[in-house]
């Protein structure tokens, strides 16, 4: 049976070695998946930087923009960080993404490499669950001018310097003053990011279908300063009032240094990322596996 996806792009993790995987094994994994896709009747291309850095030849190479314009599917081999990076870049094109993980399974790269053929063969025939994830736009404003802009799938984080004390932040939502917060920092997370830094800071889990964000203080000076869930239609502004060496990070993959008076403005993006999962996939299965909710429980 012919694959539902004719032109498939392979994107790999090459900047750093994947957990439990050498560069050689990562290259071999990409080659194995490429051969499999070809046998399934797909035309295979390699993301340009993946091909160059992994020394892969034998398949056409495309830039990320060309993948967005031409490909029917992106297949990402790596961890959640790899998927976050490529997901942001391809969101505007609407290309669906499938994640294959060589190491520990991630929250958004959920197909184990050891079992990729069984999962992908069915998905290529159209047996999959589609999952849309929201994105945030963030601008760093200084003296009325935008000095840095970024997109985030997980979170926007304002952090104190590594060797400095707390920061003081003035927070507004939709133009309404919320509070002046003294803390180590503040996290604005999407439902996807609610299982990342926000979770480790005491924030709640948000189901991906919820059109909301969570605002979570990091080690707040006042214990009554608690996480709050906001509509993702909100316009959030965070002004740095005091604190040295503060910065804003976006999915922990890009960073902007901040000065007193800088405002980080967060709004909902018009784009979302399309993930495809194997038929029968459940968000709660992922949570159980990643958060070890069943440990110590004996089933009867």
Q: Active-site positions?
A: 80
Q: What is each CA distance from 252 to 18, 59, 190, 193, in whole angstroms?
A: 17, 32, 14, 11
Q: What is each CA distance from 172 to 10, 186, 187, 189, 237, in whole angstroms?
A: 42, 13, 14, 16, 5
- Please state the φ and ψ torsions of residue 285, each to the nearest 5 degrees: -60, -40
DSSP code at position 93: G
- The upper half-sphere exposure of residue 170, i.e. CA atoms within 13 Å in the direction of its Cβ, equals 11
Beta strands in the chain (DSSP E): 7-12, 43-47, 61-62, 73-77, 97-101, 111-112, 128-142, 145-152, 155-159, 167-173, 176-183, 185-189, 212-218, 228-231, 236-242, 247-250, 254-257, 263-278
227: which residues sit within 8 A by CB, 6+ positions away? 198, 201, 202, 203, 204, 214, 215, 216, 217
Helix (H, G, I), strand (E, B) or coil at 296: coil
17: which residues sit within 8 A by CB, 6+ positions away? 23, 26
Give the separation between CA 126 and CA 122, rounded to whole angstroms. 7
DSSP code at position 91: G
The first and second tokens of residue 72, run together, are 């029917």
Q: Residue 289: count other Cβ atoms within 10 Å of its Cβ.
A: 14
Element (H, E) at 144: none
């Amino acid at each position: 049976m012919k694959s539902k996806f004719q032109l498939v792009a392979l994107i790999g993790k090459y900047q750093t070695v994947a957990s439990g995987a050498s560069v050689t094994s990562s290259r071999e994994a990409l080659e194995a998946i490429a051969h499999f896709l070809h046998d399934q009747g797909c035309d295979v291309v390699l993301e340009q930087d993946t091909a160059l850095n992994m020394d892969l030849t034998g398949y056409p190479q495309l830039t990320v923009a060309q993948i967005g314009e031409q490909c029917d599917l992106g297949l990402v081999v790596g961890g959640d960080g790899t998927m976050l990076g490529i997901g942001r870049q391809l969101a505007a094109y609407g290309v669906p993404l499938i994640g294959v993980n060589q190491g520990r399974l991630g929250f958004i790269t959920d197909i184990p490499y050891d079992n990729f053929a069984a999962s992908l063969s069915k998905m290529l025939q159209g047996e999959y669950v589609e999952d849309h994830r929201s994105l945030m736009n963030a601008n760093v404003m200084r003296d009325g001018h935008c000095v840095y802009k970024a997109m985030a799938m997980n979170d926007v984080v304002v952090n104190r310097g590594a060797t400095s004390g707390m920061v003081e932040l003035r927070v507004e939502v939709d133009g309404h003053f919320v509070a002046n917060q003294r803390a180590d920092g503040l996290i604005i997370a999407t439902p996807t990011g609610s299982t990342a830094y926000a979770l480790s800071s005491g924030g709640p889990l948000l189901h991906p279908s919820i059109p909301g964000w969570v605002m979570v203080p990091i080690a707040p000076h006042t214990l009554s300063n608690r996480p709050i869930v906001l509509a993702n239609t909100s316009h959030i502004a965070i002004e740095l009032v005091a604190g040295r060496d503060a910065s804003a990070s976006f999915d922990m993959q890009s960073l902007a240094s901040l000065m007193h008076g800088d405002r980080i403005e967060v709004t909902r993006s018009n784009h979302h990322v399309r993930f495809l999962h194997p038929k029968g996939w459940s968000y709660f299965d992922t949570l159980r596996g990643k958060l070890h909710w069943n440990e110590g429980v004996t089933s009867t």
